[in-house]
Amino acid sequence: MKPFTYVRAADTAAAIAAASGAGASFLAGGTTLIDLMRLEVMTPNAVIDLGRLALTEIERHGDGVRIGAMAKNSDVVSHPLIAERYPLLAQAVLAGASQQVRNMASVGGNLLQRTRCPYFRDLGVPCNKRAPGSGCSALEGYTRSHAILGTSESCIATHPSDMCVALAALDAVVHTQRGGHTRQIRFADFHTLPGEHPEVENTLEQGELVTHVELPASPFARHAHYVKVRDRAAFAFALASAAVGLDVADGRIRGARIALGGVATRPWRAPEAEQALIGQPPNRQSFERAAAAALVDPKPRRDNAFKVALARRTIVRALELAWGQS
């Protein structure tokens, strides 16, 4: 591990001030950061420990719910407000990692976890995300786990988070603070596409602290489901996942949410699929039509072409489970 300065911040203001310099990094649960520092993939010159910050609450906020950035993933899963109003989020978080990791991992850290592309973690090979301009080893490499949506010629790595797929479906808002300023970032605007700069993964500025995630009121609690397809039941990232919600009245779908994981370079909303469901009866035929509309212009490669069909089947399965068929 490269040497760094360690700062245990007393409060939010102190954390933001300490992280304002180039190369400083916040530390929450450490399940991503420490891992990558050991590999020397991430080499911050200063690590600002957020462990003392009072950002752990999960509480009602207007018609919705507000989750502190330092709330543990396991606390999100077990909180009654989340179980009652946002079961989709609880299911998605529960599908990630293991109980031990979820006990450590924070909500803020989960938003900002890094890709599991194996070349990103291997200092011996080029990777534009780790070393901008060095090239992308995945383009001619083994691509089974890589993205088919949102890719560029610079990077085809998937966004690994399960939680973020549910947050995308639920139209979450990320609250941040930097200096004396606060911002609210729509979830759709939080993560960026790789384009020519895959090293940039979100719209945060240096030293900008995620303080909360806000969930607006949702009509999707009754009919919602997260399905994750992976190689084994624990410690495996999604090959494809879908977070879906249905709002049904008088036998017709009046609102729908569909977001995908494991197939795209950022948490991926599928508005075309959502639109295809509006006004339809909730049945296998309408779910299949929506799934067919979901993947617009996918870019499969040699080893991950199976993800096109897998993602569509995952959407259909999630919609069936959300509607209560099995």
Interface with ligand FAD (CB under 6 A): 25-33, 35, 50, 69, 96-97, 101, 104-106, 108-110, 112-113, 160-163, 209-210, 235, 237
Rule CB under 6 A: say whether 128 interacts with ligand SF4: yes
Task: Measure the CA–CA gap between 319 and 313, rounded to whole angstroms.
Answer: 10
Q: What, of ligand FAD, ligand SF4, none, does residue 155 touch, CB below 5 to 8 Å by kind? A: ligand SF4
The per-residue DSSP string of 23-88 comes to TEEEESS-TTHHHHHHTTSS--SEEEE-TT-S---EEEETTEEEEETTSBHHHHHH-HHHHHH-HH
Q: In this complex, which beta carbon is closest to ligand FAD, that of residue 61 or of residue 116?
A: 116
Rule CB under 6 A: say whether 264 interacts with ligand SF4: no
Report the DSSP beta bridge partners of residue 67.
Answer: 58, 213
The answer to whether the CB of 40 falls within 8 A of the CB of 124 is no
Q: What, of ligand SF4, ligand FAD, none, does residue 109 touch, CB below 5 to 8 Å by kind? A: ligand FAD
Find the binder of ligand SF4 among 26, 86, 119, 220 (CB under 6 A). Answer: 119
Sequence-ordered list of residues with C-beta below 8 angstroms from that of 134, at least 6 positions apart, any chain: 126, 127, 128
Instruction: Give, as one character, the DSSP assignment of residue 136.
Output: B
Q: How far is the CB of 100 from ligand FAD (least distance, A)?
A: 9
How many residues are given for the chain? 326
Q: What, of ligand FAD, ligand SF4, none, does residue 101 touch, CB below 5 to 8 Å by kind? A: ligand FAD
Rule CB under 6 A: say whether 191 interacts with ligand SF4: no
Q: What, of ligand FAD, ligand SF4, none, does residue 215 touch, CB below 5 to 8 Å by kind? A: none
The answer to whether the CB of 107 falls within 8 A of the CB of 69 is yes
Q: What, of ligand FAD, ligand SF4, none, does residue 110 touch, CB below 5 to 8 Å by kind? A: ligand FAD
Report which secondary-structure segment, H or E, holds 288.
Answer: helix 284-294
229 three-class SS: strand
Q: How far is the CB of 270 from ligand SF4 (least distance, A)?
A: 22
Rule CB under 6 A: say whether 42 interacts with ligand SF4: no
181 three-class SS: strand
Q: What, of ligand SF4, ligand FAD, none, does residue 112 touch, CB below 5 to 8 Å by kind? A: ligand FAD
Q: How far is the CB of 140 from ligand FAD (least distance, A)?
A: 27
Rule CB under 6 A: say whether 263 interacts with ligand SF4: no
Which of these ranges, 60-68, 122-130, 219-227, 318-326, lies near ligand SF4 under the rule CB under 6 A?
122-130
Q: What, of ligand FAD, ligand SF4, none, does residue 237 touch, CB below 5 to 8 Å by kind? A: ligand FAD
The answer to whether the CB of 161 falls within 8 A of the CB of 96 is yes
Q: How far is the CB of 180 from ligand SF4 (least distance, A)?
A: 35
Q: In this complex, which beta carbon is closest to ligand FAD, that of residue 25 or of residue 286?
A: 25
Residues in 130-149 at the binding interface with ligand SF4, rule: CB under 6 A: 136-138
Q: In this complex, which beta carbon is closest to ligand FAD, that of residue 108 or of residue 300?
A: 108
Q: Taking the alpha carbons of 71, 75, 80, 83 in that order, is the dihedral positive or negative? A: positive
The answer to whether the CB of 55 falls within 8 A of the CB of 12 is yes
Find the binder of ligand SF4 among 33, 37, 95, 127 (CB under 6 A). Answer: 127
The per-residue DSSP string of 138-160 comes to TTTS--TTS-SBS--SS--PPP-
Report the DSSP beta bridge partners of residue 202.
Answer: 191
The answer to whether the CB of 102 falls within 8 A of the CB of 77 is yes
Footprint of ligand SF4 (CB under 6 A): 115, 117, 119-120, 127-129, 136-138, 155-157, 198
